Amino acid sequence: MHIPAITGTGVYTPSQVITNAELVAAFNAYVDLYNTENAVDIDAGICDAKAYSSEGFIEKASGIKQRYVIDKQGILDPTVMHPLLRQRADDEPSLMAEIGMNAARQALDQAKKSSHDVDLVICAASNMERAYPAVAIEIQNLLGTGGFAFDMNVACSSATFGIQAAADMIRAGSIRSALVINPEICSAHLEWRDRDCHFIFGDVATATLIEREQDANSAHFKVISTRCATEFSNNIRNNNGYLRRSRPTGMADQRDMQFMQNGRKVFKEVLPLVSEHIARHMADGCVQASDLKRLWLHQANKTMNDFIGKKVLGRTPDPAEQPNILQDYANTSSAGSIIAFSKYSNDLQDGAKGLICSFGAGYSVGSVLVERQG
Ligand code: CO8
């Protein structure tokens, strides 16, 4: 059996930033427009007036201070409230492929490898911009890698589940290396007119190169073990699928075609699920809390991460032991824990162990135990 290792990572960060102040100003302008346009119905009790959002609430409830997006103009226009993305021709690279390739090239550069060294491309993300052909196959073609490619979707856990799939194929010997790519264009499936969630997400793409350890060209992270778990829940849901047209209501832009969640319930239910999952994964691998030098957790909510870090380590982790990036990037779905890993792992010493863990819709939890080599 071969030993898999993470030999490179890459992060594509869009150039446009929306601060909480800009976001709330645009949202509140939209609320004023909505309440004025619907004043008669609101007065008659037919519909409710919308309430303002607040910067104070957003930072306190989530820890988020800003988010990167591919188009901020449309999102901040109170008469639009979604990104405005150019329709691409079928013979142009799709947007997911373009940003995914950017991250993939960084991962290959870090590992000192070329696209010819890659046997498998997995595009693992919480939404695909089309059903087929697979975005992963488009990336395979654009990068010029060999082998095969496929898309997979496990919402926020897409990256860790993708890493497990790739690591298992490397262990079994069917491939030598894989790129797991996570282009997350969350701004296009967020309802920016809903104050309960309008602050949560941002855009990014990450990539992880996984190879046989013996093929690593430089310092890397040996994958000690991986573990995935799922448990069905409707508390995070998106109903925008191919059956949509066949509904009696047709393709009307309804709320359930965008991200929906019962955030409070998710918070309560996912915390024990994740803490127990990590505890079992560590126990089965005979890894003690004192062995773990770093936790790279899913980036949805700072309080949630503080709680999980404390539960896993049995004490309050130093900020450097459990780095958060959500204050800058917001929730970037499956990419969040990989951004944290990519930005805060190179300082670890030879032999240091760490844990990448994602959690979210499904529910799904994925964890990857790694050990620095070199
Ligand atoms: N400004 C001011 N007040 C607000 C706002 C706002 N923006 N939003 C809500 N409030 C009000 C509410 O109306 C409520 O008022 P009241 O008490 O009068 O009813 C009060 O503030 C408290 O509201 P909540 O109970 O909703 O607030 P919470 O403290 O629970 O915080 C959070 C909300 C931040 C959403 C929190 O619940 C949370 O982070 N939960 C965990 C969520 C989570 O981890 N989800 C994972 C989702 S990600 C995932 O799985 C990927 C999905 C696929 C990607 C989709 C991409 C788009």
Over residues 301-340, the pLDDT tens digits come to 999 999 999 999 999 999 999 999 999 999 999 999 999 9
Separation of CA 195 and ligand 1 centre (Å): 9
The structure tokens 């201070």 sit at 65
Separation of CA 337 and ligand 1 centre (Å): 20
Separation of CA 264 and ligand 1 centre (Å): 7
The structure tokens 């427009």 sit at 33
Which mutation among 22, 58, 261, 358 tests ligand 1's pocket best, with the greatest number of atoms within 8 A of CB? 261
3-state secondary structure of 258: coil
Closest atom of ligand 1 to CA, residue 362 = 50
Confidence band for 243, pLDDT divided at 50, 70 and 90: confident
The Cα 266–Cα 261 span in angstroms is 8
Cα-Cα-Cα-Cα torsion 291, 293, 299, 300, nearest 10 degrees, comes to 50
Instruction: Give catalytic status of residue 186 as yes or no.
Output: no
- Condensed to tens digits (0 to 9), the pLDDT of residues 285-301 reads 999 999 999 999 999 99
The Cα 223–Cα 114 span in angstroms is 21
Contact 188, 178 (CB under 8 A): no
Whether residue 252 has pLDDT greater than 80: no
Q: Report which of 112, 13, 115, 120 is spatially closest to residue 67, judged by C-alpha positions.
A: 13
Q: Please report which helix (H) or strand (E) contains residue 84, including its range.
A: none
How high is the pLDDT of residue 246?
86
- Condensed to tens digits (0 to 9), the pLDDT of residues 205-224 reads 999 999 999 999 999 999 99
Q: Could you check whether the bond before residue 363 is cis, i.e. omega within 30 degrees of 0?
A: yes
Separation of CA 343 and ligand 1 centre (Å): 27
Q: What is the pTM of this model?
A: 0.96
How high is the pLDDT of residue 59?
97
CB atoms within 10 A of CB 79: 8
Which mutation among 81, 152, 240, 264 tests ligand 1's pocket best, with the greatest number of atoms within 8 A of CB? 264
- Condensed to tens digits (0 to 9), the pLDDT of residues 98-153 reads 999 999 999 999 999 999 999 999 999 999 999 999 999 999 999 999 999 999 99
Q: Is the CB of residue 58 below 6 angstroms from any atom belonging to ligand 1?
A: yes
Residue whose CA is at the smallest distance from ligand 1 atom 12: 196
The Cα 134–Cα 140 span in angstroms is 10
Q: Is the CB of residue 261 below 6 angstroms from any atom belonging to ligand 1?
A: yes
